[in-house]
Structures are given as structure tokens and as C-alpha cells.
Amino acid sequence: MNTFKTIVVDDQPEITLNLEKQLSKYGLQVQTAQNFTEGAFMIDHYFYDIAILDISLPDGNGIDLFRRLRKKNSEVYTIIITGNATLENAITALNEGINAYLVKPFSDDQLHAILRQAEKTLILKSENRALFLEIQHNRQFYENLLNSTSEAIIVTDLEHRIQYGNRSARELFNLSLEISGQQSLQEYIEDGYKILTHIHQQLIQGKPVSGYRVTIRANMEKSFDAHLNADLLYGKAGQSDGLIINLTNPLVNDEVFSRIVRKEKLSTIVHLANSLSHEIRNPINIMYGRLQLLQDEVIDQNFKNAFKSIHRQIDRILNITKLLEKFNFSREDSIPEKCNISKIFETILSEKKSLFSEKKIQIDCHLQSNGFLVEGNQVQFLDAFRYLFDSLIDLTPSGKKLEISGKATPHSSGSKWYEFHFIIPEKKVSLDKLFEPYQSIDMELNGLLGLGMVIMHTIFNNYGAKIETLVQNDSQTLIRIRFPLFESQSSQIIGQ
């Protein structure tokens, strides 16, 4: 037998000694007590699988000991022994849930038969307990899995009564944790009976049900559209027992779709930029070589000046092709991450300060830096700010002061933004002119300016930024760039 822990309580020493020998021979771990008090103390301080209790003790009875023992271990196998067998005692023992009843004196064979039954019972209970724990563990695993999704998952019977709902479904329909099975899903869907019946018929015919647009009535005051997917719930015999319904908020799908569109748009721009760079560079290189040969043969100074002007334009085009080659978004995914916008800005400002100094441009910069986070791609943001500063260097007249400020601001719509202001002196630039990829001669600006600003605008715009220009006092231009801030900072900004 297994080494079950066993307690024997009897007021006759010869019986307890004999039982201890017999039980030890069967491999059981045995402890003995001579009265109710000793037995109660041992029961309170030790754990037992089997108990052999005399029904009559000098200071109590075995039934009371059993009750005490059962509170600690409800699965204990208990054998009552008695020298005074009465029908009343037997009935009392059975009513209390005693497992076996032995009348003194009893033979070794009788004891052994009961112990064999005790072993089978305890092993079976142990296996059942282990199986129950495994089922509970698996149930909890799948429950956690279903609760981890934002989609509402509902299981109904054939009458459309809700049998199960994950956390999202319970929150959506305000269901209690213990679902009664009496609430109908029809109540929560507009034209619920018609829609659910139609879906069931479609599934029975083997037709897939995916992406059905339905109107959800979460309560009397609120309703919204959702995407419904469904499948049949099969029973053990393979018959249809109900429906498994999946409800998805279309806004989540719209966000996923937006990410896909954003990535595809950036990918298209990359391929276009690289193709343009290649197609422009080849004829320009040929033209450059032919022009060099022609310049060596021409002596007239007027022609030489014209050649120099053409050379400058060719160099300008070659620089544009280099910029196009750099425009490569594929090195990083376009899925947003949380970026410290002021830190990125300060990094590029520090990187470009020497170029401002070369042009003798003063920088008056005041930033509100408090770890403000925006959603975007950090590598792309670094590139975009480089293009911005290159353009600001070209736009700002030599010897003048460029004013820069940045702060977090609440918006009338309730959203929160981080705003950068750039005040460019003695320059009037419209938004349309600023973002022309290749400016006309009247702009009198470096040819790279427009393309760089277009690239910057493309990057920022893909992550929700807004760019505006405003001519102030008829003598200076304000460029304002606003980034939507990460939502968790809302209360912080309102306080500021």
C-alpha cells in the first residue's frame, strides 16, 4: 500500500498496539492516541489520510473526532471501530459520512479488505483532484488568452442565449462575471433575431461569416457599429450546439488599415525617389562630361561664364539626386513608437549649430522640456528635423536672429499638442511656396530647400503633425509645427 498517514484512537492499549503493528506491516505511517484529548491535539497539529477511531472514548467519542478531522481534510478515509455494535451507532456513522464500520473483535482479513478499499478510494480522489487542477489550469490559460484580446467573444446556444463572454464582452454588454445563460444576444444587436438567424443558416450551409456590419446597443443611450465574425459551436457528438460570435470595433481595424496605408505610402515614395535619382543621374553625368569637353574648346569669356552657370545648375541637380537617394524609409518600420520630441529636436539643433554659426545666424531658443512623448518613428524624425534645420539655415538671412520656441498646449478639441514656433526675419514665405519640391527662381533659395521640406512634411504628416506658415508684421514668417502628444500625458499638460 501507499505510505498514507494514519491515526488510531482507542482507549485500549492492546488494540492500538496491535493496529499499529498491522498497519505498519501494510506500509502505512501510524500515530496512536489513547483518548479524545490526545486525538484532538494530534488532529489539530498533523495531517492524516486515514483515521481509525473508537466510537466510545473516556472523555469523548469518535464521531466528534471525525467531525474535527473532516474540517481539516474533507477527503480523509475514516473507519469507526466499536465493541458495542448497535443499529443506532451504525446509522449515526453512516449519516456523518463515515467510510467503514468495524465491530470488535475483527480479523486481520477484515481490516486488510477495508484498507485496500481505503487505498483505492484515496488514490481515486487524488487522481480526480489532479485532473480537476489540470482542468482549472487549462481553463484559466484559455480564459486569460480570451481576455487578452480587445475583441468581444460570445458563445450562445441555439436560442441565442449567452453562455459565455470574455472580459471585453462582459464590459461591452455589462454582464456579470457569472453569466446566467438566460440573457439573449438578440437584445444587444439591432435586428438581432433576424441577423443571428441568418448567420446560423449561412454557417449551416457551409458559407463563411466574416466582417458583417452590425449595430450594437450597449445600453439605451449608446449604440455603435461593429464587425461580426461567427462560427458554429459543435457538441461532443458533432452536432451544432450554438454559435461562437466575435465582435470587433471597426476603429481598431481602421488603425491597422491606417498603418498599412502609411507603410505602403512611404514604400512607394522610397521606390519613386530611388528611381528618379537613378534616371536623373545618368543623363546629367553624360551632360557634365560633354560640357567639360566643350568648355575646354571655347575661348570666349562670355561663354565661359555661361558654362559656370550651367555647372552650378548641374551640381544642384546632382545634389538633389543625392538627397533622393538618402530618402530611404525602408530601414525602419513605420509603426509608431513613443518618442521624446524635445530631446530629438535638441539633438539635431546641437548637430547643426556650427552651420548656423558659419552664416552668423543667432539662435534664440526656448523649449519646454519635460519628457513630452509623441507617437512616431525616431529615426525618421531625426531625418525630418535635419531637413528642417537645413531649410531654416537657407531661409534665415545672414547675420540675423532665428527665434525658436516649443511648448505643450491644450487644444479646443480636447486633444493635446506640442508646438514648435520658428520666426524667420525679413522673409515672407507661403506654405505652398515652402513645400514646392523645386522652387522657382523668384524664391532665390537653394534648390535643395523645397525637396527637403517636402520630405520633412511627408514624415511628420504621416504621424499626425500639422504644419502652418503665417506672415507676421509683413516682414517675418512664422512656421508652426504641432505634434499630437501621447494620451497618458493629458492630465500633466492640463495642469501646466
What's this model's pTM, rounded to 2 decimal places?
0.42
> Which pLDDT score is estimated for 259?
57
pLDDT at 2 over 90: no
> Which pLDDT score is estimated for 32?
94
- In this structure, of 44-58, 129-143, 185-199, the range with the lowest mean pLDDT score is 129-143
Q: How confident is the model over 223-278, as pLDDT tens digits?
A: 778 889 999 988 878 888 899 999 886 554 455 555 555 566 666 666 666 666 66
Q: Which residues contact 208 (CB under 8 A, 6 or more apart)?
A: 202
What is residue 476's DSSP assignment?
Answer: E
Q: How confident is the model over 136-168, as pLDDT tens digits?
A: 888 788 788 888 887 888 999 999 999 888 888
Tell me the C-alpha to C-alpha distance, in Å, between residue 485 and each of 22, 332, 347, 459: 79, 21, 19, 16
- Return the CATH architecture of domain 150-248: 2-Layer Sandwich (3.30)
How far the first Cα of the chain sits from its last, in Å, is: 75
> Which pLDDT score is estimated for 443?
40
Work out the pLDDT band at 1, boundaries 50, 70, 90. low
pLDDT at 360 over 90: yes
pLDDT at 75 over 60: yes
Q: Please give the grid coordinates belonging to residue 475.
A: 516682414
With 0-12 / 13-18 / 19 or more C-beta atoms within 10 angstroms meaning exposed / middle / buried, residue 51 is: buried
| Domain coordinates in residue numbering, the chain | 5-140, 150-248, 251-335, 336-496
Kind plus residue range of the DSSP H or E element containing 25 = helix 13-25
Q: Which of 415, 402, 416, 400 is nearest to 368 (CA)?
A: 416
Contact 164, 179 (CB under 8 A): yes
365 versus 213: the higher-pLDDT residue is 365
Q: How confident is the model over 275-334, as pLDDT tens digits?
A: 666 667 777 777 777 777 777 776 677 777 777 777 777 776 777 676 666 655 444 455
354 versus 88: the higher-pLDDT residue is 354
Q: What is the mean pLDDT of residues 56-80?
A: 90
Q: What is the mean pLDDT of residues 441-451?
A: 46
Work out the pLDDT band at 493, boundaries 50, 70, 90. very low
Beta bridge partners of 476: 425, 472
Domain 5-140 falls in which CATH fold? Rossmann fold (3.40.50)
Tell me the C-alpha to C-alpha distance, in Å, between residue 334 and each of 70, 331, 397, 459: 64, 10, 36, 10
Q: What is the mean pLDDT of residues 481-493?
A: 65
Say if 150-248 and 336-496 have the same CATH topology.
Answer: no
Q: Which amino acid is at 217?
A: R
Q: Rounded to an integer, what distance in angstroms lies between the CA atom of residue 103 and that of residue 404?
A: 100
> Which pLDDT score is estimated for 91?
79
Superfamily (CATH H level) for 336-496: Histidine kinase-like ATPase, C-terminal domain (3.30.565.10)
